[in-house]
Structure 1
Amino acid sequence: MALTDTAIRNAKPKDKPYKVADAQGLYLLVNPRGSKLWRLKYRINGVERKLALGSYPEITLAEARSARDAARRQVAHAIDPNIARRQARIEASIRASNSFGSVAEELIEKKTREGLAEPTLVKLRWFVTLLGADFGKRPVAEITPQELLHELRKHERRGRLETANLLRSFASRVFRYAVATARAERDPAQLLIGALTSPKVKHFAAITDPVVFGALLRAIDDYQGDPAVMYALKLTPHLFQRPGEIRQMEWREIDVDKAVWIIPEGKMKMRQSHSVPLSRQALALLDEMRALSGSGRYVFPSIRSRARPISDNTVNAALRRMGYAKDQMTAHGFRTSASSLLNESGKWNPDAIERALAHMVAGSVRRIYNQSAYWGERVEMAQWWSDYLGSLRDGGNVVQLRSGKRDGAADDGK
């Protein structure tokens, strides 16, 4: 006699397990502790087998019968349901290991071994998170352009246009890696080029007028606050390196005798070590700061912990407190100011200025040449620049622009 829901609910545990039969091999196994488990008895190739179909009430009577019927159809086609289920679990495991998230993590591990900077690795992991847990679980080979676009549009609708475009670019790298490792056949992200709204290009705000820049330098001299922030503010115009490189400056990277700061490749955006000549003014500021933080690792330690440098937005926050809005001046803007004023002075080879800014030079041979060819000029330029900053700060005369076109050679009067 077929089972009913009432009969199942009334089936009470006994001292030993017992079966309550339904029909066509389906039965309910009632255990002494009260659990009720669906089982199916079937024969294949003359051998009796049992298939677990779940527990009651999680699996209802109707669902158990549906699973029984599906298993019996497999048996009718000489397919062992137990073997088919095991194969399905294996395939699901393979799909899981080939999910977008797992392939992305594998790519990030590869980039880690290749020496990609930690901040960049953190950003890549953040991209994986932004794409969502559900998307990350999807088999990388099954993701369609429309599915990816749906995820990207979530950010676009929130006005995060740049994030949406960065995510598309990152996804494309993951798909290309999946293709290269034989886990996908195409890059659906590539098909979305042009499908997203392009963000407006944002330039770092910077002061390039010499007189206004001089006023900024005077404001920096008058700034009162945490000494690490004060000296980072004062040193930044002299060095004009990237804010992240300056805030993470370590005492071990500075050679006072040779008057040079050597930034290791792990901290550089272009993954190449970079040497920065130090002017007398820069060395004097570092000497003053050494009395405050010289016993620690970082030149500009955080006020909360000397084991960490000041935060990445500290200098920008100081500029805001000084009254400079974000559309007037930024920490990164000191690079633009230096580049503009150095070039406008007409005294220095543009390639030497680019090298001082640690900009990548196209071509490996020219890059190697530029690493050494302009060092002497850069040393002289660093001292001239610090002297010029002092003149601007004191309200002195600004450098007049050179007339005529540079021929690329160093000028005798520089």
Structure 2
Amino acid sequence: MNFNINNDLDVNSNLDIFSMGFDDSKHDNDILKSQSQLLVDLKGEPGKNCGGFCKFCYFKKVDNSNPTPFGCKNCTFNIGCDYCTYSVREINGDFIPLPLAIQQIQNALFFQKYDKVNITSGGDVSFYPNLEELCKYIGNMGLKIHLGYTSGKGFNSIETAKNLVDYGVDEVTFSVFSTNPKLRKEWLYDKNAEESLKCLKYFCENCDVHCAIILVPGINDGEELRKTINDLIEWGAHAVILMRFANKTEQGLILENAPIVEGIETHNIEEFKEIVKKTFEEFGDKIRITGTPLYDPLTNAPFALSYEERLLKKLRNKIKSEATIITGNISYPFLKNIFKDTPINVVKVNKDISDLITAKDLKTVDLNELKDTVFIPPMAFVHDRIAEEILNRDGKDRMILRGIDKLSVDGEVSGILTKEEVLEFEKNAFEELIEKINFFGKPI
């Protein structure tokens, strides 16, 4: 499964709130990875198919008894679709049976050749009851395996890890939190913390392991974080992504379940960025360090382009029309700098992650700041018609559009790219956005 929502990896198979600006990281964190990976979705739901909610899980306290749709770009005439009603809440149903998982693979291989199978889930793949049988089947076909997400809570014995490696698992995405078993027991409710950490160590020694650490202030940051990263380096982990814990609505909790943990004041944006920076300075020569929702010290993502004045000058010269871009707290300073001294103005709402902007957020926008053409994040959780009504409630007839899918990448994706690759990606993305602005905006 993909990394996710500031809190728990298992949110992101269907929703990515690491998105920056107009970043639609949503469906595929692998969008920039090798396209020879076949994604196999085992379904499953947080809290049900993961050994119980982690203490910090984004989906704790969510009432799914009568889900209300947000509206989104995937909706047609009516407000509500599978994505903004069910997928955003990871309402996927139970794990699929083994024969159906195998059928997914067989059907896909009939049309295309793959080198690796990425096993993902809305829960935790370590709790899939037939995981070893599935991996053995895949391995017998000569394919390598990526365990797309696991906390390891479902591994009761190191023998399981050994078997999985023998069957072809050579890449693992692991939610670590801490290598301190006491903290894992308390915060992940990991009943077998010692064994799951033994499995993690074995994976690190034998696989390409990407570790995620959700940082909870005063719990697993500071010296605890240093110890954890030292352990991961010693074991042979490939990379670590630090993830800011979200505990407020403006930080990403849009399902009316804030706070996740009472009494926790999370790191603000600058504090978190500084932790990532210092961690990189101390350990970056031994292990790849990135952060989400920001930042990647090696590539300057997201929005590495904002540091490149020569490239920015070329982009700004291509702007021929005016427009307004609505964004969130994290993207705002980057976009404001990129479009400095141009006819494009940037307006922010109090939501850190732009793609988690909802209709409620749009209602807070000062309409006097908006030009005739307005761009909202493509994955914003609001129906097109509602967005138009809200942003034209003063009687104006503004054109409301969604931006392009991706302007930048978060630390999870940038962690597999070079600085040059990130800049090339962003340059192409902003050129596409500017073309759209020139076409729909008011000429200057």
TM-score when scaled to structure 2? 0.25
More helix by share: 1
More strand by share: 2
Greater relative contact order structure (CA < 8 Å, 6+ sep)? 2
Structure possessing the higher radius of gyration over alpha carbons = 1
Q: TM-score, normalised by structure 1?
A: 0.27
